Amino acid sequence: MYLPQGSGPVTQLDPDAVRPSVLRLKRASGQLNAVIRMLEAGRECEDVITQIAAVSKAIDRAGYSIIAHGMRTCLLDDPTGESIDTQKLEKLFLSLS
């Protein structure tokens, strides 16, 4: 997903806060590689679809977690006093649906 720069601050991601999402995405990457191998090996359609659904859910959950962190940081803990672009936050959140 491409987001244009310069349309107002959203938030910086705290590496410690997003570590669980990073780990989830790394696991999803491994799952996706396994799905590719399954397809190349001619595995059953049902097995492949089940694994694709699992990868998709893992990616979605990581995205929602990152957006939730951003919303908490921007709306509750903003130490800079900068104006928060709530429309941009909403657009990010809705892009996951």
Residue 21 CB burial class (10 angstroms; 0-12, 13-18, ≥19):
buried
Q: In CATH, what number is assigned to the domain containing residue 56?
A: 1.20.58.1000
pLDDT digits (tens, 9 = 90+) for 23-69: 999 999 999 999 999 999 999 999 999 999 999 999 999 988 888 88
Residue 12 within a domain: no
> Considering its fold, how many domains does the chain have in total?
1
Distance in angstroms (rounded) separating the CA atoms of residues 90 and 2 = 15
Residue 63 CB neighbour total at 10 angstroms: 19
pLDDT digits (tens, 9 = 90+) for 9-20: 555 778 888 899
Please state, rounded to an integer, the average pLDDT across all residues of the chain.
81
Residue 32 within a domain: yes
Residue 78 within a domain: yes
Percent of the residues in the chain that have a pLDDT greater than 90, as a whole number: 45
Residue 64 within a domain: yes
**How large is the angle between the packed helices 86-94 and 45-76, nearest 10 degrees?**
170
pLDDT given for residue 70 in this prediction? 77
Domain coverage including residue 48: 18-95
